[in-house]
Amino acid sequence: MKDNIHSPENLGAEDTVRLIMDFFHRTMMHHAMWYAEVEGQMGREKAQKILKKAYEQSSAIQLNRLSKILGFETKEGIPAPLLELPRETLDKLKEGAAANWLANDGVWFQAVEFSKGMTEAKKCNDACWGSFSPFEAWSIKQFLNLPENPGLAGLKKALYFRLYAAINKQSIVDETPTSFIFRMNDCRVQSTRKRKGLDDYPCKSAGIVEYSTFASAIDSRIKTRCLACPPDEHPADYYCSWQFSI
């Protein structure tokens, strides 16, 4: 506790900025808590419909207010200065945003691991993927304007718009007219462990939740089968492999 601070008005510039950043964090958390509560009360399908409306309205209000305060223009709901950036910078920004997501995920995992142990961390991790993966699928479907059941073609496209796709290397191999194989050729988490001389992180339990819920959220008819995922043995050219069929 800072004894010399009696009100926000007597904060210095640095502490004022820290408070503003904390306001952003609180807003983000409140947004997530609203969604979690609505989903718990009304179910995922209804909650997603409400989320779409709430997010569109809230983000427009927030961006409009910030643009007036900071003096930047917006074009169709997008900050104009971002539209003026060169493509190379936009690509780096996209990768950086995805890398920050992964870092945030790792920080949460380690926070639980160091507090309650690996077993509890993996349990929380798997459960989190059970919520996040179908949400990411829904978000991508909205972004790409995919139909309710876009089939395997829709899933192929969606897999390349995941956060992971911006920072990992992946590939798709057609197997039959009703199935294809997805492979994670280079995984940032696993390759980092490899450089440090560590064994693969055993991510199979989380992966099964992650990929099966993502695929079914894209199209409820799609089935997922794990072909290999650590701690399973795998060849040098990929870390995990998954079959999707319909």
pLDDT digits (tens, 9 = 90+) for 169-225: 999 999 999 999 999 999 999 999 999 999 999 999 999 999 999 999 999 999 999
pLDDT digits (tens, 9 = 90+) for 227-243: 999 999 999 999 999 99
* Domain count within the chain: 2
Residue 151 backbone zone (phi > 0: left; psi -120 to 50: alpha; other: beta): left
Do 77 and 154 lie in one domain? The reply is: no
Other Cβ atoms less than 10 A from the Cβ of 65: the count is 10
Do 59 and 148 lie in one domain? The reply is: no
Determine the pLDDT at residue 133: 97
pLDDT digits (tens, 9 = 90+) for 26-72: 999 999 999 999 999 999 999 999 999 999 999 999 999 999 999 99
Asked if residue 106 is part of any domain, the answer here is no
Q: How far apart are CA 211 and CA 191, in angstroms?
A: 20
Determine the pLDDT at residue 84: 95
Q: 215 and 150 in contact (C-beta within 8 Å)?
A: no
Asked if residue 7 is part of any domain, the answer here is yes
Do 135 and 241 lie in one domain? The reply is: yes
What CATH number does the domain containing 150 carry?
A: 3.30.1380
